[in-house]
Structure 1
Amino acid sequence: MTQYGEHPDYGNILNYLSSKDFYYDDELPIPSFKSISLATGINDYQVKKRINQLYEDVFDFYAKPFIEFRDTEYYIYASDDKKSAQIKVKGLGTIPKIGEDVTFDLFEGRIGASSFYVKDVWHTYEQGKHIIFIILNSGRYSLFWHFRKGEAEAKRELSFNDLINMDDYELKRKLGLR
């Protein structure tokens, strides 16, 4: 972004858009071309043209990379049927995949378990960071449960709210598997 902030065609526009937190501040409306034009002194046509050109530059496959995620953060959330704990980790060598077994002794004292399986992994990219969330459940991965849960969702035995609000132990209980 720095290379474009000093660019003669984009600098004023990007400086204005970076001057306030338009994305996260609910009190600020997303700026229109007109408001950008008024704030920067660039006419409406040029604002539209320059923003479109900036967009093309950003997504030009052969150009230099526009965005760089320098920092990676890992959040590991572990739970059993009663307790849970979360830690923030920096510098995890390998990201475990869904279904893999993981031993994490650090959680033993907190939740009473150290053997887990990876239930879910998801990635978020924001503010120059790559954030990875790793969800662990105590016990061993069950391919049967994976398919049974998918079947229950497809047959509407479990509602969307059930899937969001209940953990696996509660879902199994609801389906008569516990």
Structure 2
Amino acid sequence: MSTTVSVKRAFLDLLFIKSQLNRLLGDEPKYKDIISYMMTSTFLDSNEPLPSLKSMEQILNYKSHSLRKLIIDLYNEFFGEEIKNSLSFSKLDVYFDLSYFEGDKGYFKCNELCYIPRVGENITINFLKAKVGTDWFYVDKIRHDFYENTQIIEISLKSGIYNKYFHYEKYKAYEEGVINTYDLFNTHEVSIKRKMGLKRKELY
């Protein structure tokens, strides 16, 4: 069963990669006007609301059915059943979020990394010990995001050494309602373990 694509949602999706649309199709007569309109907008970077399709029709001088078809055609250039254009995310931003106890946190960013660490791997960060309080961490979570021409990787590090048993038990406790979403993402492991009722011999 195929999903009907919402025209307004498709327009919003395309705004996230508008610089790539401009690079690949900005000179195409069919798409030139709408891509130029996207490039002059700041909808994603401000509190400015998304325009209604009616207002876009007036600004671009398109009839309703023509504008809707144009947006869907542009969307399908990249995401249709027959993919006609490939995206390129040539820039990399990696954000590290370090956590010791609840109030001991540190952050740093890099734009070049030879290897992306994976969940469960242990990492030593020597240069933030004064701020965070420790240099021993493991990778707890990784999230990838894509915006414009940038791949954004957010890597969450927790203090200590990765414990596969506790990782499993923590998510099991979340599914069973023993801990909540805030606990899962923000509460230190020592507090979580107390909530879960784990004895010391079960923790390590």
Which of 135, 147, 150 does residue 126 from structure 1 map onto? 147
* Corresponding position: 1:17 with 2:38: yes
1:78 aligned partner, one-letter code: L
1:76 aligned partner, one-letter code: F
How many residue pairs align between the two structures? 176
Residue aligning to 1:47: 67
Would the aligned equivalents of 2:137 and 2:160 in 1 still touch at CA under 8 Å? Answer: yes
Would the aligned equivalents of 1:13 and 1:36 in 2 still touch at CA under 8 Å? Answer: no
More helix by share: 2
Classify the secondary structure of the residue corresponding to 2:98.
strand
Q: TM-score, normalised by structure 2?
A: 0.77
Which of 196, 199, 203 does residue 175 from structure 1 map onto? 196
Which of 103, 107, 110 does residue 86 from structure 1 map onto? 107
Would the aligned equivalents of 1:121 and 1:132 in 2 still touch at CA under 8 Å? Answer: yes
Identical counterparts, % of pairs:
28
Would the aligned equivalents of 2:76 and 2:83 in 1 still touch at CA under 8 Å? Answer: no
Which of 125, 134, 137 does residue 158 from structure 2 map onto? 137
Residue aligning to 1:153: 174
2:183 aligned partner, one-letter code: D
Would the aligned equivalents of 2:96 and 2:109 in 1 still touch at CA under 8 Å? Answer: yes
Classify the secondary structure of the residue corresponding to 1:23.
helix
Residue aligning to 1:7: 28
Per-residue deviation, residues 15-35 of structure 1 (Å, max 9, x unmatched):
12332222343333x223322
Classify the secondary structure of the residue corresponding to 2:43.
coil
Would the aligned equivalents of 1:37 and 1:47 in 2 still touch at CA under 8 Å? Answer: yes
Classify the secondary structure of the residue corresponding to 1:107.
helix
Residue aligning to 1:163: 184
Classify the secondary structure of the residue corresponding to 1:121.
strand
1:21 aligned partner, one-letter code: T
Counterpart-to-counterpart distance in 2, 1:45 and 1:108: 60
Per-residue deviation, residues 99-128 of structure 1 (Å, max 9, x unmatched):
111122122333232221111111111132
Q: Structure 1 residues 161, 136: closer, same or farther in 2, change over 3 A?
A: closer
Q: TM-score, normalised by structure 1?
A: 0.87
Structure 1 residue runs of 5 or longer lacking an equivalent are none
**CA positional deviation for 1:165:** 4.0
